[in-house]
Structure 1
Amino acid sequence: MSNNPYTAPDELITGGHVTKEYNSVTVLFDDIHYSLSSGQLNGGFHHTLGVRNQQLTYHIETEKDLPGGSVANYLAQEFEHIDVPVHFSTALLTSATPSLHAYTMVQESDTIVETIVTGGYKKTAHRAGTGYCYEEKDGEFHTPGTINILVFTNKALTDSAMVKAIMTITEAKTAALQDWKVESTQDFPKYNTH
């Protein structure tokens, strides 16, 4: 593992055991947590014992080239390897290097929010207003680039509060990319959002 000054602790303050490997970051819980995920494995609202951000370390033409024949099956196999029930797990796929993740913790009064973030944004830093960039069709993929954010809190949130949190996080991520002057995709037309 590289010398990452922003590495996540082994135990989250909000609860959860963090396993950091070169190609993945996994958080396992002692009891079931209610989550909202955009992950390809058990995305949406789900009861979870495990959350994973898994790097795909090789290029594929279609998801059929993955072990298991699909993104969801590939990610499910990763949980099976560590003996975590697949039906109580959710996972995201990334092209970023998980060992270079960044961990943050913010506390306000008795509310704690922790994040583990991976980013690879040079080719797909598109946001609202940048227009149509590409279409993934029939399981065929294009050069990926993702910013995956795993967020944990010590508060129970309603479904609507979780959706609102995801919206706010996405807005903040977009504003940060714009503040840092990270351009949208390089191979497609850029649209002025000012």
Structure 2
Amino acid sequence: MIDQKHPTADDLLAERAARGLSVADRWRRDSYLQRLDWHLEAVVTGRERRSIIRSLRDELSVDQRPMTIAVADLGSPRALAARYADDPARLRPTWSIGVIWGGVAILAYWFSFALFTLGMLSVVEQSTLDEAHARFFFVDVLAFANGDGIGVGWSGDVAWILVPIVIIAVAVLVGARCWRALPRSRD
């Protein structure tokens, strides 16, 4: 005979899956787990991290309490990740955070480049100059405005490719805290 007073975890999971999480609850759960995943990356291996996240996702899916309470009871993602650490003093690089930093850095570079170029174009269009030449992070930029039209251009030399690559690489390495991968001296 099946005990109806004490449902199993599988019963709770099936019931919650049939009922489904609201969009807000899924957002709360997934955003918390994503932040936890970023912090876990610094303290455990990838396989362990995926296992921890999968387990917590399943537990949160069957939890009968409101999602805000269930997530709040887990504590901060950083503190929870620290509890999973084998050696809290030995941290790993966080490459996923580094990739985000790289993306933000290249977007900032492109935005700055576009503003610089449009500013040059504005100056050329409002002055008696037909064209103007300038450099932006080693890239030659041209802006022209004459009877034939207006436009901008930049050089096709290696700086056009090299500068963004260097910006991305530095941002990824700094954002990931790559120095954590270096061996430490044992005192």
- Which interval holds the TM-score relative to the shorter structure? under 0.3
TM-score (norm 2): 0.22
Highest CA radius of gyration, 1 or 2?
A: 2
More helix by share: 2
TM-score (norm 1): 0.21
